[in-house]
């Protein structure tokens, strides 16, 4: 579905991002995965090469909210693979801190990674994406629909991601660049796998499809929206949450 396409995936070293990278490679794309540390980037690259050593995949660890570092990274990707067709803004951290316990540092950390990085990466990549009539995909969350009872900056950042998605969809539509977001429900990443049964089971009862999503469930939605199957879809926030709505 992505033969000949070139993709950048932030937060591609593990969890949902790693599944997106794998899915894109399986479907013929060349991929640059970005992570926070060289060590984890190298581990992810090694894992992918073990699956298939023909995969065309490279990795970098720029500071994602630094315009200069992201510029340098995008130009390395374009020099290596010739162009950029797809940007996935997936890197993100969550929070459970109570309002009165928030520090300015924690506010800045979440805002910088979850919001500013997606803004900077979209800004820098847009000139490449205009050339290829490309695609921006953002990882939102179910909390962007109805909030959560603590860690307020996490849902705030995901509401911002939805705003970025809807507004850039309008701004970039004249250049045939599509911008969409996927809003996953609770997804079985390493962190979720470690939660005890007593925490997981009550959560499952709130999901109509009766199970937690897999990273593959979520990556399939990214694949669809990145592909030419979705050429008339832009400004969409696609919920991938087993029907959970409250
Ligand atoms: P994860 O913690 O497993 O992976 C996070 C990724 O982000 C890693 O690749 C990591 O290298 C990268 N990252 C973290 N800090 C970084 C930094 N400072 N600079 C650059 N990269 C950094 O997380 P995940 O659960 O796979 O989450 C991925 C995205 O999905 C996030 O945006 C998250 O908000 C969203 N999400 C996750 C769930 C879930 O249940 N897991 C649900 C809804 C939305």
**pLDDT digits over 63-122, tens only?**
999 999 999 999 999 999 999 999 999 999 999 999 999 999 999 999 999 999 999 999
DSSP letter at 14? S
Strands 86-89 and 57-60: unpaired
How many helices and strands, by DSSP H and E, does the chain display? 10, 7
69: phi then psi, degrees, rounded to nearest 5: -65, -40
Share of the chain above pLDDT 90, in %: 94
The whole-model pTM stands at 0.98
- The CA 5 to ligand 1 mean position distance, Å, reads 23
Of 144, 199, 137, 196, which is closest to residue 8 (Cα–Cα)?
137
Q: Which atom of ligand 1 is nearest to the CA of 91?
A: 7
- Atom 34 (ligand 1): residue with closest C-alpha? 92
With beta carbons less than 8 A apart as the criterion, state whether 150 and 98 touch: yes
- Atom 12 (ligand 1): residue with closest C-alpha? 11
- The CA 174 to ligand 1 mean position distance, Å, reads 31
Q: Is the pLDDT of residue 246 over 70?
A: no
Question: Strands across the sheet with 6-10, in order?
Answer: 57-60, 30-34, 6-10, 86-89, 135-139, 178-184, 237-240
Report the b/e string of 3-28 with b at 16+ CB within 10 A: eebbbbbbbbbbbbbbbbbbbbbeee
Q: What is the pLDDT of residues 168-211, one digit of tens each?
A: 999 999 999 999 999 999 999 987 888 888 988 998 999 999 99
- Atom 9 (ligand 1): residue with closest C-alpha? 11
- The CA 16 to ligand 1 mean position distance, Å, reads 7
Q: What is the pLDDT of residues 10-67, one digit of tens each?
A: 999 999 999 999 999 999 999 999 999 999 999 999 999 999 999 999 999 999 999 9
- Token pair, residue 218, equals 């979520």
Q: Which atom of ligand 1 is nearest to the CA of 13?
A: 9
Q: What is the pLDDT of residues 114-136, one digit of tens each?
A: 999 999 999 999 999 999 999 99
Cα separations in angstroms, 170 against 166, 173, 235: 7, 5, 7
Q: Is the pLDDT of residue 234 over 90?
A: yes
- The CA 150 to ligand 1 mean position distance, Å, reads 18
Ligand 1, CB cutoff 6 Å, lining residues:
11-17, 35-36, 40, 64, 90-94, 113, 139, 141, 184, 186-187, 189, 192
Q: What's residue 146's pLDDT?
A: 87
- Token pair, residue 32, equals 């640059």
**Dmax over Cα atoms in the chain, in whole Å?**
51
Q: Which atom of ligand 1 is nearest to the CA of 142?
A: 43
Bridge partners for 6 per DSSP? 30
User: What is the C-alpha separation between 68 and 213, in angstroms, rounded?
Assistant: 36
- Atom 19 (ligand 1): residue with closest C-alpha? 36
**Active centre residues (catalytic):** 154
Q: Is the pLDDT of residue 232 over 70?
A: yes
């Amino acid at each position: 579905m992505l033969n000949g396409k070139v993709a950048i995936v932030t937060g591609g070293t593990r969890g949902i991002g790693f599944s997106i990278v794998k899915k894109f490679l399986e479907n013929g794309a060349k991929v640059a995965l970005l992570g926070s540390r060289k060590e984890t980037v190298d581990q992810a690259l090694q894992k992918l090469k073990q699956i298939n050593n023909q995969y065309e995949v490279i990795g970098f660890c720029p500071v994602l909210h630094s315009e200069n570092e992201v510029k340098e990274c995008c130009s390395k990707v374009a020099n290596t693979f010739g162009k950029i067709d797809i940007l996935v803004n997936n890197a993100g951290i969550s929070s459970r801190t109570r309002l009165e316990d928030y520090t300015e540092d924690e506010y800045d950390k979440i805002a910088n990674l979850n919001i500013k990085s997606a803004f900077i990466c979209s800004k820098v990549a847009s000139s490449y994406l205009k050339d290829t009539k490309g695609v921006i995909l953002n990882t939102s969350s179910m909390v962007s629909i109805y909030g959560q009872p603590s860690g307020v900056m996490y849902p705030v950042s995901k509401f911002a991601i939805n705003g970025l998605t809807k507004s850039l969809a309008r701004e970039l539509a004249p250049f045939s660049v599509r911008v969409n977001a996927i809003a996953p429900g609770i997804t079985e990443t390493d962190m979720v796998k470690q939660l005890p049964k007593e925490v997981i089971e009550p959560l499952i009862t709130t999901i109509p499809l009766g199970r937690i999503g897999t990273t593959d469930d979520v990556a399939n939605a990214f694949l669809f929206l990145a592909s030419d199957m979705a050429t008339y879809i832009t400004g969409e926030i696609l919920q991938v949450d087993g029907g959970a709505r409250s």
